[in-house]
Amino acid sequence: MEQVGELKKRTVISTFSLFFQSGFSAALGLVANLVLTILLSPSIFGIYITILSMISILNYFSDIGLAASLIQKKEITDEDVKTTFTVQQFLILTLIFIAFLLTSSIIKFYALPSEGKFLYWSLLLSFFLSSLKTIPSVFLERKIQFQKIVLVQVCENITFYLSVIIFAVLGFKLTSFTYAVLFRSIIGVILIYLFSRWMPKIGIVWKNLRELLHFGLPFQASSFLALFKDDLITLYLGKVLGFEILGYIGWAKKWAEAPIRIIMDNLSRVLFPVMARIQHDKDKISKLVDKILYYQSMILAPSVVGLALVMSPLISVIPKYGKWQPALPLFYLFCLASLFSSYSSPFINLFNALGKVKISFIFMVIWTTMVWILTTILTRFFHAYGFPITQLILSSTFLFVVWQAKKIIRFSFIKPIYKPLLASLFMGIILVLLESFIHISFMTLGIIVLTGFFTYFILLLLLFKINLITEIRSLLSYE
């Protein structure tokens, strides 16, 4: 059994690697998009995004949760790996074959140029090449070595953006994306096999397949329900509210969920394999849950409160950004909802890691049903506020998720979170008072942000004897 210190070391390194990858990809994408918007027309971007969305839909049917089953299992055999690879390749090749046969229909439906056809085919090939990375990636995730996966993703992104910029400069227009997609896929496959060597084998062991599907099907079904809960509801809102109000909702939701997307999404990706590795030891699981609740509250609570208080003055000082003023009330509702919902994520990972994926699936069914029923009803009565209110109601169900988790393991929910939450609340009160006394500008906005940070630091130290510097050192130590 691996040492706790070594597991913690790999967990910390993996988590920070994912944070780096998120920041690096965002910065690189911003620079590349700035260049490409100068070189290419909006219609070319539209064609690329449309075709990319088609391929994304195929991903929901390409795996049926088998890769997640390999990560969750205590021990895996060659038969498990061989079976997963074979079934996945059969599904993917079938999907690609069907998609290829639909080429003419898709080109006609979207009125794509001939270059669009080759881009579509290149994305299908990329879809196949990406599938070859699944098993090597599973091995790295089981070892909690996400930094190697991150390095592959960083190289893929650099290859893609450099290629598309170079070919766009040379005048290849839409074909720039075709070459960039192929180069990115080839580089990704080569690098992942260098970091995680594995020889593909073909064959299906039906006993192993049944065991893997017992976890995999409910897991994948939860992901599929997320498509209806999060993506399709947007199409409905655009129809009933119009694109302008949908724009306000989208802007508010994106900003309010930024801390969750940056912090919790990356943390959750690491937590699943970590919890799966120690699933046999309930005491370690309990201690890990306590630490997760403590540290996520320590980071997320002040981030969400600070973001909520800074957004209004930020809108007022950025030129031509005042148009988003009507979205602020929506933004505040989404902020509260995002903070509540963050307390569901660790326990959904817990259920999945312990093999209790049916519990996660039941919650996803309930949430999907509720979001459609409540959004339909509340939008009729509260118009633009219907969906944000729905999100707030749904996020408050984290209490039921915690209650269900307490049936499985012993942990304290209030004890790890109340100190960061109280310090964040007091910080918010102080910042509100400060904003009422000063004239807002870029300089004073910076002062408000720094004041918020130091206020939070001092409140934790004076009220609860918590030293943030000591906490960071403890988090980064591997003993």
First and final CA of the chain: distance in angstroms?
16
pLDDT greater than 60 at residue 299: yes
Average pLDDT, the chain: 85
Q: Residue 82's pLDDT is what?
A: 94
Amino acid letter, 419? K
The pLDDT of residue 470 = 81
Same domain membership, residue 121 and residue 261: no
Between residues 81 and 435, the one the model is more confident about: 81
Query: Which one, of 359, 385, 358, 386, lies nearest residue 372 by Cα?
Result: 386
Residue 381 or residue 357, greater confidence: 381
Q: State mean pLDDT over 388-396.
A: 96
Range of weakest confidence among 89-98, 265-274, 409-418:
265-274
Q: Is the pLDDT of residue 93 over 60?
A: yes
In a 10 Å sphere around its CB, with 0-12 CB exposed, 13-18 middle and 19+ buried, how is residue 322 labelled? exposed
Residues 275 and 143 reside in one and the same domain: no
Enter the tokens of residue 151: 């390095």
The rounded distance, in Å, linking the Cα atoms of 401 and 214 is 22
Of 157, 177, 204, the residue at which a domain comes to its end is 204
* Residue 212 domain flag: no
158 and 261 fall within a common domain: no
Tens of pLDDT along 320-336?
Answer: 778 889 999 999 999 99
User: Quick one: pLDDT at residue 36?
Assistant: 75
What is the predicted pLDDT for the residue at 33? 67
The reply to whether 188 and 241 lie within a common domain is no
- Domain assignment present for residue 259? The answer is yes
Parent domain of 146: 4-204
* Least trusted range by pLDDT, from 12-21, 104-113, 299-308, 350-359: 12-21
The b/e string for 173-209 (b: 16+ C-beta within 10 A; e otherwise) is: ebbbbbbbbbbbbebbbebbbebbeeeeeeeebeebb
pLDDT at 255 over 70: yes
Query: Predicted confidence band at 3 (pLDDT cuts at 50, 70, 90)?
Result: low
State whether 178 and 276 are in the same domain.
Answer: no
In terms of phi and psi (left: phi > 0; alpha: psi -120 to 50; beta: otherwise), the region of 41 is: beta
Helix (H) or strand (E) holding 455: helix 442-464
**Residues 183 and 238 reside in one and the same domain:** no
Q: Which residue has the higher pLDDT, 288 or 25?
A: 288
User: Are 248 and 182 in the same domain?
Assistant: no
The two tokens of residue 249 are 């909702």
pLDDT per position as a tens digit, 194-216: 999 889 999 999 998 888 888 87
Q: What pLDDT does residue 333 have?
A: 97
Q: Any residues with CB less than 8 A from the CB of 417 and at least 6 apart, and which?
A: 293, 294, 297, 301, 343
Is 51 within a domain? yes
Co-location of 361 and 445 in the same domain: yes
Please state which of the ranges 89-103, 303-317, 432-446 shows the lowest mean pLDDT. Answer: 432-446
* Dihedral angle, C-alpha 427, 428, 431, 433, nearest 10 °: -110
Query: 142 and 244 share a domain?
Result: no
**pLDDT confidence band for 234 (50 / 70 / 90):** confident
pLDDT band at 261 (very low <50, low <70, confident <90, very high): confident
Q: How long is the chain?
A: 479
pLDDT at 8 over 80: no
Give per-residue pLDDT as tens, 443-477.
888 888 899 999 999 999 998 888 878 877 766 55
Same domain? 452 vs 428: yes
Confidence of residue 63 (pLDDT cuts 50, 70, 90): low
Q: What is the pLDDT of residues 401-433, one digit of tens each?
A: 999 999 999 999 999 999 999 999 999 999 999
Task: Check residue 430 and give its pLDDT.
Answer: 93
- Mark whether 193 and 227 lie in a shared domain: no
Q: Return all residues near 456 (Cβ < 8 A) that are at least 6 apart.
A: 302, 423, 424, 427
Q: Is 240 exposed, middle or buried (0-12, 13-18, 19+ CB in 10 A)?
A: middle
Give the torsion sign (CA, 135, 137, 140, 141).
negative
- Residue 1 or residue 175, greater confidence: 175
Q: Does some domain include residue 105? A: yes
What's the mean pLDDT in 295-303?
92
- Give the residue, 188 or 244, on which the prediction is more confident: 188
Asked if residue 132 and residue 251 are part of one domain, the reply reads: no
Q: What's residue 54's pLDDT? A: 63
Structural domain tally of the chain?
2
pLDDT at 26: 65
Closest C-alpha among 95, 21, 29 to residue 62: 95
Flag whether 209 is in a domain.
no
Specify if 279 maps to a domain. Answer: yes
Whether pLDDT at 1 is above 50:
no
Q: What tokens appear for 440 in the block?
A: 């807002």
Give the pLDDT confidence score for residue 157 in this predicted structure: 86
Residue 340 within a domain: yes
38 part of a folded domain: yes
Q: What is the pLDDT of residue 20?
A: 78
Domain boundary among 164, 180, 204: 204
Q: What is the pTM of this model?
A: 0.73
Q: Please choose, from the candidates 364, 463, 343, 329, the residue with its C-alpha nearest in 3D space to the C-alpha of residue 414.
A: 343
Last residue of a domain, one of 183, 204, 225: 204
The pLDDT score that the predictor gives to residue 203 is 92
The CA distance from 368 to 227, in Å, is 9
